[in-house]
Amino acid sequence: MIPARTARTARLAAEAKATRKRPKRIADRAHTWDPATAGVVLARLGPRPPLGYFSPTEEAAARPLLAHLLATWHDEADIPVLSFIDERLASGEGDGWRHAGLPEDGPAWRRSLAALDADASLRHGRTFAELGHGEQHRLLRHIQDLGSHDWYGMPAARVWSLWTRYACAAYYSHPHSWDETGYGGPAYPQGYLRLGRGTREPWEAPR
């Protein structure tokens, strides 16, 4: 038997927990982060500089490519993936390695976008951006299915991994994507207190 008072306390605690305000977005918790982290993360929500690496032609191919890879047709404006990738390539900040036979990441992006347009015009007589949604999707599926086979002088799988690596790093660095995945975000100096299967912090929404 649970004594009445304990039961009442437990009920009140549960109610208090349920009504405690959950922030709508992880970014709203920025005041609990250390200044260095908050600075870096919140900058991603700020205004974006104009593109500095991709040419207009490359940009035209890259936009629908990224929209397909990340399924962002409806919420594209939300996370400026292309701008993040452009900034990274413009800064020349590499990953510290490249495959033998492939150029550095920046030139590899350029080559692969040109190849995307070349492949589209070979099949349909139009650029990749001008293709219909279904045509674009099928072309990408085809490239993915090539695996380690050659695609315009590059192993298709390496191109695919370059695209998805950059696309995911950009998309999942944005705090709005954390609202989508349920990731709790930075936690210093606060730390996480509720560890273990089936537990969550009061401000974490159940999933």
Q: Of the listed pieces 12-20, 45-53, 68-76, 116-124, which binds another protein according to CB under 8 A?
A: 68-76
Strand partners, 33: 189
Can residue 188 be called a binding residue for another protein (CB under 8 A)? yes
Can residue 173 be called a binding residue for another protein (CB under 8 A)? yes
Instruction: Give phi and psi for 187, each to the nearest 5.
Output: -145, 45
Can residue 83 be called a binding residue for another protein (CB under 8 A)? no
CA angle 27, 28, 33 (to 5 degrees): 75
Can residue 78 be called a binding residue for another protein (CB under 8 A)? no
Q: Of the listed pieces 9-17, 30-38, 113-121, 122-130, which binds another protein according to CB under 8 A?
A: 30-38
Q: Of the listed pieces 3-11, 53-61, 63-71, 125-133, which binds another protein according to CB under 8 A?
A: 63-71
191: left (phi over 0), alpha (psi -120 to 50) or beta: left
Instruction: Give phi and psi for 177, each to the nearest 5.
Output: -70, -25
CB 170, CB 84: distance < 8 Å:
yes
Minimum CB separation of residue 136 from another protein in Å reads 11
The rounded distance, in Å, linking the Cα atoms of 68 and 164 is 11
The rounded distance, in Å, linking the Cα atoms of 46 and 78 is 12
Residues 94-153 that bind another protein (CB under 8 A): 94-101, 104, 137, 140, 144
Q: Of the listed pieces 18-26, 46-54, 118-126, 170-178, which binds another protein according to CB under 8 A?
A: 170-178
Can residue 189 be called a binding residue for another protein (CB under 8 A)? yes
The rounded distance, in Å, linking the Cα atoms of 154 and 171 is 25
Residues that bind another protein (CB under 8 A): 33-34, 36-37, 40-41, 68-71, 93-101, 104, 137, 140, 144, 161, 164-165, 168-173, 177-178, 180-200, 204, 206-207
